[in-house]
Amino acid sequence: MITKNMEKALNGQINKEFYSAYLYLAMSAYCNKNAMPGCEHWFRTQHDEEVIHMTKMFDYLMQHGGEVHLLQIDEPPVDFGSILQAFEASLEHEQFITKSINELLDVAVAEKDHATQVFLQWFITEQVEEEANVKEIVDRLKLVGDNGAALMMIDDKLSLRAAATVAADEG
Ligand code: OFO
């Protein structure tokens, strides 16, 4: 049976994963508006991945005997300034999520909740990948600057991102 502290922390993280999904959906719409279909697809796929993260935590909380409390989701921005700034905001957000997952593990350790410590290992590893993926895109966008042809090449590459599936996310 999960402790009340752990339950509260997991419910908080479910809300943050929902917000991540919301944020990436907003970024996807921003890219659509700015004629960057590859970036739009990349953020839309990232949204789908966040829904998988949220569902994973939601299912775990119920399975562990906790009570799900769905909190209000904050409104994400509409305008991100530029495509580079959108990806920079994404990187900053992922760093925030990494910190949050680490704090969640601290709670699990303090509560002597071994099952949740094991469960969270997947998210710890996933965050390394999340940050690395976005950082690579930010670095490339900085490199090409305002070069339209190079930006289109990056956009084309991002359009190739594979669909998010639970199986792919496990791997
Ligand atoms: Fe759920 O990893 Fe991104 O936010």
Atom 1, ligand 1: residue with shortest CA distance: 50
169: pLDDT confidence band, cut at 50, 70 and 90? low
Cβ atoms of residues 16 and 71 within 8 Å:
no
This model's pTM is above 0.85: yes
How high does pLDDT run on average in the chain? 96
CB of residue 94 inside a 6 A radius of ligand 1: yes
CB of residue 47 inside a 6 A radius of ligand 1: no
- Residues 35, 27, 19, CA angle at the centre, nearest 5°? 165
CB of residue 97 inside a 6 A radius of ligand 1: yes
Cα separation of 114 and 116, whole Å? 5
**Which of helix, strand or coil describes residue 70?**
coil
From the number of C-beta atoms within 10 Å of its C-beta (0-12, 13-18, 19+), residue 153 rates as middle
pLDDT tens digits along 97-149: 999 999 999 999 999 999 999 999 999 999 999 999 999 999 999 999 999 99
Question: Which DSSP state fits 80?
Answer: -
Cα 90 to ligand 1 centre (Å): 10
pLDDT on residue 166:
75
Cα 138 to ligand 1 centre (Å): 17
Picking from 81, 48, 69, 50, the residue whose alpha carbon sits closest to that of residue 4 is 69
Mind listing the domains of the chain with CATH numbers? 4-68+80-163 (1.20.1260.10)
Question: Which DSSP state fits 66?
Answer: -
Cα separation of 171 and 165, whole Å? 10
| Count of C-beta atoms within a 10 Å radius of residue 66 | 20
168: pLDDT confidence band, cut at 50, 70 and 90? low
Cα separation of 80 and 84, whole Å? 9
Residue 171 has pLDDT above 50, yes or no: no
Cα separation of 118 and 51, whole Å? 21
